[in-house]
Structure 1
Amino acid sequence: MTSAAASAATAARTARDLTADLPLPALEDLYRDLHRHPELSLREHRTAGKLAGRLADAGFETAEGVGGTGAVGRLANGDGPTVLLRADMDALPVTEATGLPYASTNDGVMHACGHDLHVTWLAGAAAALAAGRDTWRGTLLMVGQPAEESGQGARRMLADGLYERFGRPDVLLGQHAAPGPAGLYPHVPGLIMSAATDVDIVVHGRGGHGSRPEATVDPVVTAAYLVTRLQTVVSREVAAGESAVLTVGRIEAGTRHNIIPDEARIALNLRTQSEPVRQRMLAAIRRIAQGECLAAGCPREPEVTIGATFPVTVNDAATDTTVAAAHRELFGAATVFDPGPAMGSEDFPELALDGAVPYAYWFVTTTPHDIWNEAPGDTLPEKLAAVPSNHSPHFAPDPATVAPGVRTLVSGALALLSEA
């Protein structure tokens, strides 16, 4: 057995021992409680308090309010590397339609992306690693991060002195709930998630009565042409070998049936996997917006504003290989595989300081097996398209994934901490 294989085997064996007696009823109760009480970005006060309380009970030095609503726990345990484990905490403005007995009690707000599960995993891992501190050496940083969905949280925590106050980590670990039959742990030793860019466009027209369109410049018609033309950006301006997505997420204009408004607003989201492609798409959006408005005779040029941005998520190959090896030892070789990069995005890489700190980020599949088995389709992509995905009002991870998600974090941390 090679030294790497031996280290993975040791991490898996120790993780199995440390999590053999997980307080599953209490952890599942925590998960259901967090799901019932979702909080939007930068409003995660209750969630952060719940996590901070768990960290303090486990023996961590704990702080709240970092970056606004972030929670941090620090446990120093001798000489060794500093390993940061992160869970995002915010929910989404989605009206839940799962019908679960523990469905959201906050109207119009839902944990539709699994962050309630992430917090539960982190709390369970913190308790297990603290109780088993005689098996490892180093320092653990447990970070409950706010505002991942808005792309603000990691940057806000860093600006609030996260590393100056609690120590700069040597390595970062993160994981995310994902659709797929519960019990799989996809890893990619490189690019795993895409960059995201929000773009807002304002089309300026000249309003008037709906009975006299000839006296107006209708921004709604111009916006409709613009939306249609934007669909050619990926199909005609991005090379076939590149991956990109352009989504029009919102279009707004007008107040009544018979009033032609003065302006129309369009909200776009881009997903790209390289900076040159991102810049090419932004240039195309500006050009198309200006061209359509010019063709329509708009009285002013359109406003094109770049909004929230998320970086690409690129795992450090050595770090991810180390963690993936521990997961294979713990769960079986067939449960860990490379699915290739996803078009989803994360602000987790912000914590890496422009690549100065290596990290590993992976997925934990959470679709209940009965839902997966009943989904139409014979192939993995067909079934993935049929089951509720992240951000769906029907997204309902299996509570049975609480224990495996704790074990992935515990084994990943042990694979990187020094052995006692």
Structure 2
Amino acid sequence: MPQPRFLLPALAGFLACTLSASAQTTAQSVDADLPSLLSTYKDIHSHPELSHHEERTSALLSGDLRKLGYDVTERVGRYEDGSQAYGVVAILKNGSGPQLLVRADMDALPVEEKTGLPYASHVRGINAQGADVPVMHACGHDIHVTVLLGFAKQMIEQKSAWHGTLMLIGQPSEETIDGARAMLADHLYERFGKPDFILSEHDASDYPTGSIAIKPGPLAASSTSIDVVMRGKGGHGAAPELTKDPVLMAAEFIVQLQTVVSRQIDPQQPAVITVGQIHGGTKRNIIPDEVSMGLTMRAYDETTRLAMIEDLKRIANGIAIGYGVPEDRMPIVTVSQTEITPATLNDPALEARLHASAVKALGAAHVLDASAFMGSEDVGVFRLNNTIPGVMFALGASDPDKLAAAHKAGTELPGPHSALFAPVPEPTIRTGVTAMTAMAIGLLQPKA
């Protein structure tokens, strides 16, 4: 398990006067709010909505934020196809000072819940391909929305402790990594102002409840979705010599693709290429004309990401040439411009400030060193190529005893995207609201 870092003495001294009373006030107030927050969490968990369909969740979030006194705008966001998104923007102005964007994502996943919880989801929905699928909050976005609501209330109650502008974002379609881009395409910053800082969190099964984990630098990888079509010449399975078999070419491509990470990029740069889909053929004895594959590519470094794309293209073309495929039947490699997101890189200076605030609110033993991971997040899109400082922290969501037992046994507890993922809601929400409030108040201070 990651070990806690210790608060820098200078930062601790700077923040002591402003955060001690605030942290104590927050803890008492959050405890009083927990019954209502837990009810909200279970309601959202029981009514998950797929990406692009967050109508109910966005209405719930908008309604509660309006009741608190925020200026709320709904249906912010426009997708590539021109359709409107269910993004929510809530503004609270509290005098002069910096503007802080705090983001929570709202969408769920096409997963059938198997937790057995009394508030488990039994919802079904229609996915982008028109298929009927089960729906579950298997990534904890229900926790994120609930924490945002608890945090929003704390910031209202503690307005005397901070100055500036809060910009709360209920983001749609994180799972399809096009929600943040859709909100920017709808002129988010032109309409509501460009933030000075961006803050977000994500619940995590590999950290205990009551704690957060945070680090400077890379936290999550970039994600690039790629489609590859190997084209050949179909024919009878009994006469392969008369064909150019795209099934065989696809198989060779998948095997050679493994050399990109192992032999063609800097071994000190973490990277992943996974082929998650392959489709081709209609009958056992028919060699098809083409085989299509869907890939995901992950990296922390942009130079590495671009190099991997070129390596992939070269391998695909080389295999086709080796099989004698004519020029007009070369592979088609399509790099998505919508299902793509940058790496989540925590700004070091901002992370140091937030780390200090979190230690003051939670105690050093509950502020852990986060581990970078190869999963992806689209919150980095809001940062405009890292020109806006931002930090995401991990919010512990697992029972400490069960987590310790799993580590001792060398196993893992069910995590995000699992049908068994079940955050422990009460301490997770309490810690998320407490940490987020302390961090925000620490940032929204007048310059010395």
TM-score range normalised by the length of the shorter chain: over 0.9
Show the counterpart of 1:137.
163
State which of 168, 172, 175 in structure 1 corresponds to 2:198: 172
User: Pairwise mapping of residues 292-371 of structure 1 onto structure 2 (< 5 A)?
Assistant: 292-299=319-326, 300-307=329-336, 308-371=339-402
**Distance in 1, Cα, partners of 2:276 & 2:67:** 43
SS in 1 for 2:375: coil
Cα contact 1:208–1:260 (8 A) shared by 2: yes
Show the counterpart of 2:430.
403
State which of 183, 192, 195 in structure 1 corresponds to 2:210: 183
Segments of 5+ residues of structure 2 without an aligned counterpart are 1-7, 78-84, 125-133
Tell whether 2:115 aligns with 1:98: yes
Report the alpha carbon displacement of residue 188 of structure 1 after superposing the two structures with TM. Answer: 1.3
**Distance in 1, Cα, partners of 2:180 & 2:74:** 15
Tell whether 2:261 aligns with 1:234: yes
Report the alpha carbon displacement of residue 133 of structure 1 after superposing the two structures with TM. Answer: 1.4
Show the counterpart of 2:15.
8
Deviates more, 1:217-226 or 1:251-260: 251-260
Report the alpha carbon displacement of residue 419 of structure 1 after superposing the two structures with TM. Answer: 6.8
Show the counterpart of 2:414.
388
Cα contact 2:370–2:394 (8 A) shared by 1: no
TM-score for both structures, normalised by structure 2:
0.87
SS in 1 for 2:28: coil
Q: How many residues align?
A: 415
Report the alpha carbon displacement of residue 101 of structure 1 after superposing the two structures with TM. Answer: 2.1
Cα contact 1:4–1:322 (8 A) shared by 2: yes
**Distance in 1, Cα, partners of 2:89 & 2:320:** 49
User: Residues 262-315 of structure 1, C-alpha deviation per residue, up to 9 Å, x if partnerless?
Assistant: 211111111112122112211110111112222233451000111122112222
Show the counterpart of 2:97.
80
User: Residues 206-260 of structure 1, C-alpha deviation per residue, up to 9 Å, x if partnerless?
Assistant: 2233344333332222211111111111111122222111111111122333333
**Distance in 1, Cα, partners of 2:27 & 2:167:** 19
Cα contact 1:194–1:345 (8 A) shared by 2: yes
Report the alpha carbon displacement of residue 59 of structure 1 after superposing the two structures with TM. Answer: 0.6
Show the counterpart of 1:55.
65
Show the counterpart of 1:24.
34
Report the alpha carbon displacement of residue 87 of structure 1 after superposing the two structures with TM. Answer: 0.5
**Distance in 1, Cα, partners of 2:277 & 2:54:** 26
SS in 1 for 2:38: helix
Cα contact 2:112–2:419 (8 A) shared by 1: yes
Cα contact 1:192–1:340 (8 A) shared by 2: yes
Deviates more, 1:193-202 or 1:161-170: 161-170
TM-score for both structures, normalised by structure 1:
0.93
Cα contact 1:12–1:411 (8 A) shared by 2: no
The RMSD of aligned alpha carbons is 2.1
User: Residues 361-384 of structure 1, C-alpha deviation per residue, up to 9 Å, x if partnerless?
Assistant: 111121233542442645xxx44x
**Distance in 2, Cα, partners of 1:13 & 1:246:** 49
Show the counterpart of 2:231.
204
Tell whether 2:130 aligns with 1:112: no
Change (3 A) 1:242 1:34: same
**Distance in 1, Cα, partners of 2:187 & 2:292:** 37
State which of 278, 281, 292 in structure 2 corresponds to 1:254: 281
Change (3 A) 1:66 1:392: same
Report the alpha carbon displacement of residue 342 of structure 1 after superposing the two structures with TM. Answer: 2.2
**Distance in 1, Cα, partners of 2:219 & 2:212:** 13
Cα contact 2:362–2:435 (8 A) shared by 1: no
Change (3 A) 1:336 1:18: closer
Report the alpha carbon displacement of residue 135 of structure 1 after superposing the two structures with TM. Answer: 2.3
User: Residues 91-150 of structure 1, C-alpha deviation per residue, up to 9 Å, x if partnerless?
Assistant: 122222222222222232221111111111001100111122122221111110111222
SS in 2 for 1:337: strand
Report the alpha carbon displacement of residue 27 of structure 1 after superposing the two structures with TM. Answer: 0.9
**Distance in 2, Cα, partners of 1:138 & 1:11:** 17
Paired amino acid for 1:242: Q
**Distance in 1, Cα, partners of 2:399 & 2:415:** 12
Tell whether 2:49 aligns with 1:34: no
Paired amino acid for 2:159: R
Deviates more, 1:220-229 or 1:64-73: 220-229
Report the alpha carbon displacement of residue 197 of structure 1 after superposing the two structures with TM. Answer: 1.1
Percentage identity across aligned positions?
A: 43
Change (3 A) 1:253 1:11: farther
User: Residues 348-397 of structure 1, C-alpha deviation per residue, up to 9 Å, x if partnerless?
Assistant: 1221222232112111121233542442645xxx44xx221222222211
Cα contact 2:256–2:315 (8 A) shared by 1: yes
**Distance in 1, Cα, partners of 2:306 & 2:388:** 26
